Structure 1
Amino acid sequence: MTERFVHHVPVRWSDMDAYGHVNNARFLTLYEEARVAMFFVGAREHGLGSFEEGIVIARHEIDYLKPVDYGDPVRVEMWVSEQRAAAFTVSYELFDDGVLASRARSVCVPYNLANGHPRRLTEAERDFLRPYLEVTP
């Protein structure tokens, strides 16, 4: 079974819209905070710092399943649903009070910020991603 990286993200008052729900655009921020935790903090704990040198987002897609209200932190679960030589897709599920509220995907591209171009995943990065890589039968 694919391992999931789990991160709890606080919902801030500034995330709310006029209707008292988390604004649809702020979902990207919640997902971003979880993704940063995975690729900066989680990877660093495994001795890997290269993701901190640059990852850019090539694509986002989000499905909104239920409104999220201000209150307790939301739980974001992440895994890698596709991996290529120079890109990988992070899939997410966001839970509010244990109920699935949103699903999303982000296509991430390792990027050499100093030289200004995409780069391939290193073997160490592939090793870090491996437990989270979704295996399809």
Structure 2
Amino acid sequence: MNHGAIDDISQISFIREAALALLCPKPPRRDLFSDGVLFLRHDVTFHRELHRRGGEPLPIELWVETIRGRTFTLQSRARCDGHAVFSGKSVLAVRQRGRRDAKSGARPMTEAERSYLERFTVPQLRLSR
């Protein structure tokens, strides 16, 4: 019995939703990730049990750790009442039109995509404060 605890799969879904919110700005831009992204890997560390919050949103910190030719790595951390409840590292690739598998589905990043992601690296985030 979980007494309102949120399971691991839901916590990974929170990370995916936060990543997609970062990668799909409003208003949409045609030059960014137009064919979507592939989630290649999630490594998640669970620090404490997370319980349902009665509709209250769970803040998730998200930043870009590395940017490579076809892939990039996002770091994430969720806090509740001042304590980290989970943290993660996700590797994503820019999807190539018509391809869905990780091996052949990634394409090189465009300069616009690379520039967009660079805004969310730790050094850039420190400068923007």
TM-score bin, normalised by smaller chain: 0.7 to 0.9
Q: Take 2:83 and 2:27, find their aligned partners in 1: how far apart are those partners?
A: 29
Matches within 5 A, 1:1-137: 18-40=2-24, 42=25, 44-45=26-27, 47-71=29-53, 72-115=56-99, 117-135=105-123
Structure 1 gaps, min length 5? 1-16
SS at match of 2:12: helix
Asked which structure has the greater RCO (Cα within 8 Å, sep 6+), the reply is 1
Structure 1 residues 24 and 129: alpha-carbon distance in aligned structure 2, compared to 1, 3 A threshold: same
Q: Which residue of 2 aligns with 1:10?
A: none
Q: Is the 8 A contact 1:81 1:91 kept in 2?
A: yes
SS in 2 for 1:101: strand
Q: Percent of pairs identical after alignment?
A: 22
What is the rounded CA distance, in whole Å, between the counterparts of 1:73 and 1:38 in structure 2?
16
Structure 1 residue 54: Cα displacement = 1.8
SS of corresponding position for 1:51:
coil
Asked whether the equivalents of residues 31 and 113 of structure 2 are also in contact (C-alpha less than 8 Å), the reply is no
Alpha-carbon distance in structure 2 between the residues aligned to 1:81 and 1:50:
18
Amino acid at match of 2:116: F
Q: 3-state DSSP class of the match of 1:25?
A: helix
Displacement of 1:49 in angstroms is 4.8
Deviation at 1:100, TM superposition (A): 1.4
- 2:119 aligned partner, one-letter code: P
Contact 2:96 2:106 in 1 (8 A): yes
TM-score where L is the length of structure 2: 0.80
Contact 1:46–1:128 (8 Å) recurs in 2: no
Aligned-residue CA RMSD (Å): 1.9
Deviation at 1:66, TM superposition (A): 0.8
2-side partners of 1:36 and 1:46: how far apart? 12
Q: Distance in 2 between matches of 1:88 and 1:53?
A: 16
Alpha carbons of 1:49 and 1:29: their partners in 2 closer, same or farther (altered >3 Å)?
Answer: farther
